Amino acid sequence: MKKSCVPPFINSNRSGIVIRYLKHTEINRKAWDACIQQSQNSYVYAYSWYLDIVSPGWDALIGNDYAAVFPLTHRSRFGYRYLFQPAFTQQLGLFYTGENYKDSILDFIGTIPPEFRLIQIQLNDGNPFTGNLPPEFTCNKRRTYHLMLNRDIETIRKAYSENLRRNIKKAGREGLTTPERVDVTDIIRLFRNNRGKRLSHLGEREYGMLQKLLDGAAQKNLILSSGIYTPEKELCAGAVFLKSREKYIFFFSAVNETGRSKGAISFLIDYFISIHAGESVLLDFEGSMDPNLARYYSSFGSQEVVYLQLKRNTLPAAIRWLKK
């Protein structure tokens, strides 16, 4: 297969930004992480340590000497390279340190090397479009839910749905423990023994990746993990909240039938909210496109936030159907 030749610098005529495509080994990791830390739309998913776990060997587009960056998470199949959205990584796309880069998303998309014959990626909620995508791209809206915590807990709870309030009260009457710190390995095990049994797309590779992510986040003091026990000392629910600068992400949770019947997850989330009420942060529920989960997250009074999924398929017709 003939490889495309990608110039090291591409000047954007529309915005005047100089965009470079860099291979993994050419990326200045210190400058990269500084950009993510300072970016107006920062997400923990985009730090170099996180990308190393979910997409080893990732490449990047760099704007104006790391003032704006765009990770390229890639794989190869049948001799063709393609961009994909890694597991446990809801949003990537363009991250920028100045308002003048906010509207340059189309320039970065247009700079993605043509050698990536298939693109299936998700941008972040700070990547608005101010023009038209190249015609070979399709775009779909995806949704997450954000709850601002910069109010007192009584005000936040007033926006809860009636059904959610009933479930939380029920959990309080069931003799469940107040949420307490629990090892993330126990939460992963609880998930695998329950809902995980019904999810064929999660295997040893994905669970190993999840463990590495949580271990890495713990080393950087970026996770808060809580568990709830029954009166019989059984772990019936657990959750991991991942810190992402001004956000707490409801990153991973697990519950068994006992916990589900007693409303343990609602009890746990409400407790987390009560602990952090009044802070200048938001709780990101990290989804979901599932209508039932969407209703559940919105029952906390959270607001829908849209981010975009991009697709482009220029694979040969003979194998194009494999990646639809």
For the stretch 230-269, pLDDT in tens is 999 999 999 999 999 899 999 999 999 999 999 999 999 9
- For 1-9, the CB contacts below 8 A with 24+ separation are 1/79, 1/80, 3/115, 4/113, 4/114, 4/115, 6/113, 6/115
Mean pLDDT confidence for 156-173: 94
Average pLDDT, the chain: 91
Q: How far is CA 260 from CA 9, 52, 253, 298, in A?
A: 54, 35, 12, 18
Question: What pLDDT, on a 0 to 100 scale, did the predictor assign at position 315?
Answer: 84
Q: Where are the domains of the chain?
A: 9-142+308-323, 150-280
Q: Which fold has domain 150-280?
A: Aminopeptidase (3.40.630)
Crossing angle (nearest 10°) for helices 204-219 and 184-192:
160
Give the least confident one: 59-68, 120-129, 192-201: 192-201
Span between the terminal Cα atoms of the chain, in Å = 22
Reduced to 3 states (helix: H, G, I; strand: E, B; else coil), residue 147 is: strand
pLDDT at 103 over 90: no
Mean pLDDT confidence for 190-208: 90
Pairing of strands 80-84, 74-77: antiparallel
Question: What pLDDT, on a 0 to 100 scale, did the predictor assign at position 109?
Answer: 94
pLDDT at 78 over 60: yes
- Residue 201 banded pLDDT, cuts 50, 70, 90: confident
27-70: per-residue pLDDT in tens?
999 999 999 999 989 999 999 999 999 999 999 999 999 999 99
Question: What pLDDT, on a 0 to 100 scale, did the predictor assign at position 107?
Answer: 92
Please state, as a whole number, how many other Cβ atoms lie within 10 Å of the Cβ of residue 304.
11
Question: What pLDDT, on a 0 to 100 scale, did the predictor assign at position 288?
Answer: 78
Class at the top of the CATH hierarchy for domain 9-142+308-323: alpha beta
pLDDT at 210 over 50: yes
pLDDT at 122 over 60: yes
- Residue 134 banded pLDDT, cuts 50, 70, 90: confident
Give the least confident one: 1-15, 16-30, 41-55, 100-114: 1-15
Same fold, 9-142+308-323 and 150-280: yes
Pick 16 or 269 by higher pLDDT: 269
Please state, as a whole number, how many other Cβ atoms lie within 10 Å of the Cβ of residue 259.
28
User: Which of 50, 73, 63 is CA-nearest to residue 119?
Assistant: 73
